[in-house]
Structure 1
């Protein structure tokens, strides 16, 4: 069994102090709506032939210096949430940075079934929790026996969505390489910023934390093309790769649930969407904050579980969401939209199986290069919220990596589904 030795724990502060007029950062409506849960992401890097003792000293120094520089531009990340979680006090208290040695090889750690080993690579008490010593971002650099490394980053969802976080990681990596970087544009300062008189209260929604299993399924580009062709033959119109993969995962997960329950249970899929490019005018790619929303796909009958039907619902749901977003960017309209959507989902949670999908495709996770090369695997920690699908681009080609989290009894059936395995490989070997 792998073990971990903590070498050091320190706080990294911005290289330049935040000006007084920027000390109070008001969160946007969507920031306030979003959970404070810490979202854990980890990047695995193979050894490039250097001595591991040299690696951990030199690379940690580089990471800390460039992180300090990057925090000067992302100054809210180094601050602290107020008690009401509506603002950040940008007091430059910094982010926590840990260094550790892990007694195992990198190849052992990248196996998604090795949950105990994976947990060693994240700071204790951070993953999926809603508070951690006040630090809004927590980083751990781990070095393996073979000299390979892992960089894990946990960030509170209150200040970033996945798109924001990859923007931060890309800028941090660029700073490490001393490449040109540009200051981010904070969404909360431009749109959806509540006025002092907004009586905005977010209803709480139970996320359904359970003892779950997370598995990695990889769809290569050729198999996705076959899946798209099959959907077209059944009546779908020019489906995207994300649409067909999402539809297949949802279909097979519903079938696994039905097999365990012994009868069909109505379901909905909550599909998260990055709205930056879908509003007019579109937001810049370097916009930071939460700017994702969702639509739902309802499946009330067994006959609605056909692939082409699910693909069609995904397409129409996205179109309706985009139409609504373009017309409702004013604060008051969004207040109404958020409240109505939350009430709708809260009612549905009691009567249906609920699935959630978030697509991170087209985000450059596999291009985060801290001088020592690109990662061979990027993933989240094993999930605790059941019935979730997280999609990412595969490292090469037009493939998709799907990280699927289900309860144990559903996963046992899901991972053996012949239709799924005709298009996806379960946890293929990651080559270091």
Structure 2
């Protein structure tokens, strides 16, 4: 199937907000939480199947693609910081530069790629916007593009929309809010949505003062020469091997896991909890199995096998008082669970 995979760029343009940003919003300070995030990008893939009308020629001039671009432009007006550029590590310069919008045509059937054992390679390398348009790496942070989309159209009518969103400005909930607005604009249901809130995070988690930044960083606190070195390139140099796997769980499977995971201490386990617990459990089993194959004894001190689970938790519903789900920014905390296995005993630590 690799030889048949042909992704051809049909159009590559910049989509700008439909209305200019008001003067009072031209410069925007970031919250303390947003300041703490590096300029790395989160990948996202949205998969749609069976829409033959997407493939009617010419692709780049079809009513659906035109609608996507128009509604994206309208959405960027509401989510104005995402169409701008970072002035430094602490400030967004709202200059309405716009974001990349790429349309491609893909040979073959979408299901062939979704069912392939190498689907993560295909999806991650072919159907996301190219990294070079994001200006990552050693370039000044002022050139980093905060958001980009690539619409991939398949012969069968399937569509994969790939995107990168900069984590310094948005978390997963913020990105979900953006996509809801874009969908509503494209379908004409915009009037039913609540406006995004960019001000609450500044009020609840105000920006650090220059003096506070100096105390935390131990430096001058200036970011005039800030570069993307704090971003993706730095993280890719970590001396670890990352393995990505994909698993499918249908509703029946998840219901069974919930029954198995119900106990006095957890009477109503969530779908997230039971699926993550199931995967983590079997990762540990695989590690122990490999150790047994290597003839490692439980009595051997070298049998200590720590595994860690890290995930983001939405803080909006956990603050007092709770924040609106329309609150934009990185209102999230990283939680960690560590399980140590040594001498036949398991210990779990949470922080």
TM-score (norm 2): 0.78
CA distance in structure 1 between the aligned counterparts of 2:255 and 2:21, rounded to whole angstroms: 50
Aligned to 1:329: none
> How many Å apart are 1:38 and its aligned residue?
1.3
Aligned to 2:130: 124
- CA offsets 1:190-225 (integer angstroms, 9 cap, x no match): 221224345234798957475644332233344334
**Aligned 8 A contact 2:201 2:331 in 1:** no
**Aligned 8 A contact 1:130 1:156 in 2:** no
127-136 vs 9-18, which deviates more? 127-136
Residue 197 (structure 2) pairs with residue 185 (structure 1): yes
> How many Å apart are 1:276 and its aligned residue?
0.5
- 1:60-75 pair list within 5 angstroms: 60-75=65-80
Aligned to 1:90: 94
CA distance in structure 2 between the aligned counterparts of 1:299 and 1:115, rounded to whole angstroms: 28
- CA offsets 1:346-374 (integer angstroms, 9 cap, x no match): xxxxxxxxxxxxxxxxxxxxxxxxxxxxx
Unpaired runs of at least 5, structure 1: 322-432
Q: Which has the larger radius of gyration?
A: 2
**Aligned 8 A contact 1:32 1:202 in 2:** no
103-112 vs 288-297, which deviates more? 103-112
Aligned to 1:392: none
- 1:4-403 pair list within 5 angstroms: 4-50=7-53, 51-53=55-57, 56=60, 57-83=62-88, 85-111=89-115, 113-118=118-123, 119-125=125-131, 130=136, 134-179=144-189, 180=191, 181-186=193-198, 187-200=200-213, 201=216, 208=238, 212-232=242-262, 236-241=265-270, 242-260=272-290, 262=294, 263-302=303-342, 305=346, 317=350
Aligned CA distance change for structure 1 residues 129 and 294 (closer, same or farther; 3 Å): farther
State the SS of the aligned residue for 1:17.
coil
**Aligned 8 A contact 1:33 1:202 in 2:** no
- CA offsets 1:334-356 (integer angstroms, 9 cap, x no match): xxxxxxxxxxxxxxxxxxxxxxx
**Aligned 8 A contact 1:26 1:188 in 2:** no
CA RMSD of aligned residues (A): 2.9
> How many Å apart are 1:39 and its aligned residue?
1.0
State the SS of the aligned residue for 1:287.
coil
- CA offsets 1:350-399 (integer angstroms, 9 cap, x no match): xxxxxxxxxxxxxxxxxxxxxxxxxxxxxxxxxxxxxxxxxxxxxxxxxx
**Aligned 8 A contact 1:27 1:87 in 2:** yes
> How many Å apart are 1:253 and its aligned residue?
1.7
> How many Å apart are 1:134 and its aligned residue?
2.6
Aligned CA distance change for structure 1 residues 196 and 256 (closer, same or farther; 3 Å): same
Which has the bigger relative contact order, CA under 8 A and spacing at least 6?
A: 1
CA distance in structure 2 between the aligned counterparts of 1:244 and 1:304, rounded to whole angstroms: 22
CA distance in structure 1 between the aligned counterparts of 2:217 and 2:259, rounded to whole angstroms: 43
CA distance in structure 2 between the aligned counterparts of 1:191 and 1:209, rounded to whole angstroms: 37
**Aligned 8 A contact 1:3 1:120 in 2:** no
State the SS of the aligned residue for 1:141.
strand
CA distance in structure 2 between the aligned counterparts of 1:239 and 1:294, rounded to whole angstroms: 23
Aligned CA distance change for structure 1 residues 209 and 109 (closer, same or farther; 3 Å): farther
> How many Å apart are 1:151 and its aligned residue?
1.4
- The number of residue pairs the alignment matches comes to 308
CA distance in structure 2 between the aligned counterparts of 1:27 and 1:251, rounded to whole angstroms: 39
CA distance in structure 2 between the aligned counterparts of 1:66 and 1:284, rounded to whole angstroms: 24
TM-score (norm 1): 0.64
CA distance in structure 2 between the aligned counterparts of 1:202 and 1:221, rounded to whole angstroms: 47
CA distance in structure 1 between the aligned counterparts of 2:306 and 2:268, rounded to whole angstroms: 24
> How many Å apart are 1:251 and its aligned residue?
2.2
CA distance in structure 2 between the aligned counterparts of 1:257 and 1:127, rounded to whole angstroms: 39
**Aligned 8 A contact 1:12 1:64 in 2:** yes
- CA offsets 1:88-124 (integer angstroms, 9 cap, x no match): 1111001111111111211123236234432221122
